[in-house]
Amino acid sequence: MTETDKKLLAEAKRVREFAYCPYSNFAVGAAVLGASGEIYGGCNVENASYSVTNCAERTAIYNAISSGEEDILALAVVAESAQPVPPCGACRQVIAEMRIPHILMANLAGDVKEMTLSELLPDAFSGEDILS
């Protein structure tokens, strides 16, 4: 694991503390590394109308994009879970759309699993599918 990976995981763990999760009590933190070298964090934000809840991964990605990042090189996600926490299907699709090549999944016990985008979501649907 690289020093950058360690920084991403530390930021994901830090921002997890800000999660708003009164319904599930499942706090999740995520962090992404922009091509600029900046790290952007995000946490899950729940809503009583579950469909408008936003996951930590998407919050971090949207934070980076809205800050001007055009390329995201890596993503880390952390939660208190038995195994390293994987992104949900919606987040996997956003990760694929942004072509994030390096994904780190972790839990608070320090277990980490690394995956590539193609391992996380093989044969992903993309903009090319609708533009061709």
Q: Which residues are catalytic?
A: 57
Which of these, 59, 105, 50, 49, lies nearest to 82 by C-alpha position?
105
d(CA 31, CA 11): 6
| Cβ pair 69, 41 in contact under 8 A | no
